[in-house]
Structure 1
């Protein structure tokens, strides 16, 4: 029992510096460019979209809470504070994604291939969207990083990863996950 306690103490004392080193390694890798950065929209309470959902009317959508807005700002601060170069920021058409992109990065462009296909209303779009995303990436010049502010289903389908709200998932051009960063809300 004393040996297990000893190992636990050793693990706890070395865990913090190791995590800091891992974060610094990831930041250094992001500074090299050529990464795909998928961000699940910041915290928007609930799940899915309301029945009266209208893509052109934010009042009918599930939107960011105040905590989610703060989380989006923290996402932006992570990139600014670490001087990580971003080529372009792309967002889904959903208001919670656009607001996340706006609060985190200010400038962004809409790409419909980042839209949610969670609800039955949009499920038929899954295959064509994933094909458009892959085509877009295959034509991308990898000097800087690309940011995609999108939804759980898009990230899950393209990276085989289940993100939390506001989580940053870094991958290479082949959609292989390199690492993730969770930003608290």
Structure 2
């Protein structure tokens, strides 16, 4: 039979769970990020829809699926969460798709370098094997004192870690000799 103390704790946890949280990650993940040397695989922020519309051109944002207002807010909130926690970001790399680049730029964590090994290969738009292998090699080779932020797409992250990831969600990994291991996840809302 639960005591009054247990019932109060359960009620408190239910209330806290209903409140909007701008950055969800466990303390161990945030602490690991604060220490640096990790790679953050981030799916671009919310861009409603799937894939890109007919007539897609990589160099023309008006032909692509782009961030919504909520997605722009989500990217800005992610940047704020990292700055508020003094998370060191040594380098930021992004897919050349506008929704990924916009996410990286709106986070305002440093200069953004565009790279084809983060580009989407959804519906055969790129060479999945080459992109995934190159990303694995780049992650394994990371030795910076700060963290490396890679802004990419759902299909790319799924190919790397074997599981799904939501819009704006980040998978934090630690490079190993020839690969990496997952440290944790960070979810940011635009609230």
State whether TM-score is above 0.5. yes
SS of the equivalent of 2:123 reads coil
Residue from 60, 66, 78 that aligns with 2:81: 78
Does residue 46 (structure 1) correspond to residue 76 (structure 2)? The answer is no
Partner of 1:32: 35
CA contact (8 A) 1:159 1:175 kept: no
Q: Which runs of 5+ in 1 are unaligned?
A: none
1:9 CA displacement: 5.6
The CA distance in 2 between the partners of 1:144 and 1:26, in whole Å, is: 14
Query: Mind listing any 5+ residue stretches in structure 2 that lack a counterpart?
Result: 17-22
3-state SS of 1:182 partner = strand
In 2, the alpha carbon distance for the partners of 1:33 and 1:156 equals: 24
Please state which structure has a larger fraction of its residues in helix: 1
Extract structure 1 runs of 4+ deviating beyond 6 A. Answer: 5-8
Aligned residues: 179
Contact map agreement 1:42 1:69 (CA 8 A) in 2: yes
Normalised to the residue count of structure 1, the TM-score between the two structures is 0.86
- Structure-2 change in CA distance of 1:12 and 1:35 (3 Å): farther
Cα drift, residue 145 of structure 1: 0.7
Q: Note closer, same or farther for the CA distance 1:117–1:108 as it changes in structure 2 (3 Å cut).
A: same
Secondary structure of the structure 2 residue equivalent to 1:132: helix
Question: Following TM superposition, by how much is the alpha carbon of 1:136 offset from its aligned partner in structure 2, in angstroms?
Answer: 1.9
Query: What do you get for the CA RMSD once the two structures are aligned?
Result: 2.5
Aligned counterpart, 1:163 = 165
1:121: how far off?
Answer: 3.3
Shift in Å at residue 140 of structure 1?
A: 2.3
> Would you say 1:103 and 2:106 are equivalent positions?
yes
